[in-house]
Amino acid sequence: MANAVQDFLQIIRVTFEPGYLTPRSLLVSGAALALLIRLVFKRPRPRYISNLDKVGRRVSSNTTARDEKWQYDIIIVGGGTSGCTLASRLSEDPNIRVLLLEAGGSGRALSDSRTPIGYGALFFSKYVYPFRTEPQAAANGKEKFWPRAKMLGGCSSINAQMAQYGAPGDFDQWASYAGDKSWAWSNFFRYFTKFEKFNPHPDYPLVDATVRGNSGPVNVGYFNTVTSASKAFVKACVEVNIPFTHDFNGPNGTLGVSRTVTYVDKKYRRVSSETAYLTPEVLARKNLTVAVNATVTRVLFETSEAGVPRAVGVEFANSDGSPRYQVRAKKEVIISGGAIHSPHILSLSGIGPAAHLQKHGIQVIKDLSGVGQNLVDHPVVDMYFKDKLNNSAKYLRPKSFLDRVKLTSAIVQYHILRIGGPLAMNFGESAAFIRSDDPHIFPSQIFPEKLLDSTSAKDSPDLELFCTPFAYKEHGRVFFDVDTFALHVYLLRPTSTGAVLLKSSNPWQLPSVNPNYLSTEEDVKKLVRGVRLCLQIARTKPLAPLLDHEFTRADLDHELHLKSDAELEALIRERVETVYHPTTTCRMGPNPENGDVVDSRLRVYGVEGLRVCDASIFPFIVSGHTAGACYAIAEKLADDMKAEYGSA
């Protein structure tokens, strides 16, 4: 209902602005009313529980969490990309009673989440945690905005829907580091095909569908709308010696340029872990409970017979000052809060660096030095160009009557005619994955310096380039006043790392986040090469004729290619931002003394009954986009746990 009203009001806003009441607006509003009626009466009602009295025991009540009513076999903390996957897969066994606790509400219920182009509008809303980093010492001391989703689906509900999974070498490196061959690409690959339902497209017949998943819950394909400039970007990349690839996730590996496969279904809707895994059929299971608006404040422990701490439940609440609730886990607690919230919850619960916990008055359950450490993120740099044809989608934030007409048309195409159109754009339409030491792209006579190889394998990339149909600043908060096009480069294998740390023992105070961007010279030098390449591509046919290189206004980058490396380095330090891929703060590995937090079965070292499953466990960040690996690790863990409990 809320989603339908939101769609209706959006159309009314753009058609009934003062001075724009016309017969066309009356016609469109009538169509909008029809849309409202259709959506209200056809909308499924998810089985989510917001009344926490129905989920757990109030801490102040006379009952006990040991009562059967408040006990579950497995408690999953966080309904993000991995959490929803786990809840769905584990509850396939009717003998396993599963509770999923999510701090936010439904992403499926938000129009800006379901509509591919709308997610940026959520960044500055109540549906996203408004993180800001610590001042970045190597990036002009700026605090950077770091949005993290607060809703079911997690960041799969607010990402750019680019379905690229990393490089095969990434997972071989994971297996080597963890000492467990089950994580090697040859073995782990099956979990990508398990979650995936690849939809072949007649325009891309050379994609080998036989190596892609065809029956998983997560639809991927070519249903997003792409612009002509995006297609020109692909051809321009080929002209500068980046090979064309048919499939970033295919048997030939990641390197090359292509249109991006997306998490967008054939009805032009976003596919998130919520929509894929928490279907009406799954939610109807009697052994699955999904509670929303339930923030976990700590994990509860008891001492086992062997004298080892054991996770026996969690405490949670709706908000600061509201009643606290407790539930118990007969088998295990799984933390799936993501790279920021998982180490935060562990720390609040007494799992982390002892001195840091004691500083905040938290009783130490287990001294694990790696909790919150090794934070790594993909740093991105944006470049802005004038669209020579004045054909961008800047009308999505309308400033004139013509803009409003175009936006109304886009809304009608998407919601009423259901043909996709501009609202089915995902922003990251095409991409290129390259190596910064590729002599065909960076010839030694121009780029003589040998850079540190931080890649996972000889055929793994360390830079990604991508294009967007218009430029923006401050994560979409600021648009340009002219039609634009943008190119972006980000570092896939940064050597700079940081940390997530407590600010206090108050669970409602967000933790400190410090990615420590650009703290190594290697990271800066590779990004300089990436910026140089983007500027070359912008001046290469067939993309060059689409950009107005005579438009030399200072806030656009048509003269940036004339700058020295030192000037580009200064620009990189000024512009660097997150591309929303933090990982590795609860690292999987063989040695807790070396900063590893979980073993290769994702069990937290030194305690029983507690695991972590999300991007925080990545031993090394993947050479691409993180959502696919988050789905795959959850699929693997669900299989492992069902095998342990005899229900595989």
| SS3 call for 603 | strand
Q: Where are the alpha helices (DSSP H) in 92-136?
A: 111-114
Residue among 100, 105, 104 nearest 285 (CA) = 100
Residue among 317, 392, 355, 343 nearest 50 (CA) = 317
Is 625 catalytic? The answer is yes
Exposure class string for 56-79: b at 16+ Cβ within 10 A, else e: bbeeeeeeebeeeebbbbbbbbbb
What pairing do the DSSP bridges indicate for beta strands 379-386 and 577-578?
A: antiparallel
Alpha carbon distance 416, 418 (integer Å): 5
Give me the residues paired with residue 129 across strands. Answer: 148
Catalytic, out of 415, 488, 558, 625: 625
Residue among 490, 487, 427, 486 nearest 461 (CA) = 490
Q: Which helix (H) or strand (E) holds 231?
A: helix 228-239
| SS3 call for 416 | helix
Alpha carbon distance 561, 535 (integer Å): 6
Q: Which two tokens stand for residue 203?
A: 């325009």
**Is residue 260 part of an annotated ligand binding site?**
no
Alpha carbon distance 336, 538 (integer Å): 41
Residue pair 3/114 in contact by the 8 Å Cβ criterion:
yes
Q: Which helix (H) or strand (E) holds 40?
A: helix 23-42
Give me the residues paired with residue 468 across strands. Answer: 486
From residue 41, alpha-carbon distances to 10, 149, 274, 607 in Å are 19, 28, 21, 49
Residue pair 616/179 in contact by the 8 Å Cβ criterion:
no
Residue pair 620/588 in contact by the 8 Å Cβ criterion:
no
| SS3 call for 350 | coil
Residue among 367, 578, 394, 564 nearest 470 (CA) = 394
Residue that has been written with the tokens 């940036």 in this structure? 560
**Is residue 531 part of an annotated ligand binding site?**
no
For 217, list phi and psi in degrees, rounded to 5.
Answer: -80, -15
Residue among 332, 287, 197, 220 nearest 607 (CA) = 332
Q: Which two tokens stand for residue 371?
A: 């909790």
Alpha carbon distance 510, 503 (integer Å): 7
CB-count exposure of residue 450 (10 Å: 0-12, 13-18, 19+): exposed
From residue 345, alpha-carbon distances to 77, 293, 314, 357, 420 in Å are 9, 16, 10, 12, 40
Is 581 catalytic? The answer is yes
**Is residue 455 part of an annotated ligand binding site?**
no
- For residue 542, say if its preceding peptide bond is cis, omega within 30 degrees of 0: yes
Residue pair 536/464 in contact by the 8 Å Cβ criterion:
no
Residue pair 494/451 in contact by the 8 Å Cβ criterion:
no
Residue among 109, 640, 65 nearest 325 (CA) = 65
Residue pair 487/538 in contact by the 8 Å Cβ criterion:
yes
Residue among 423, 434, 387 nearest 237 (CA) = 434
- Binding-site positions for FAD: 81-82, 296
Catalytic machinery residues: 581, 625
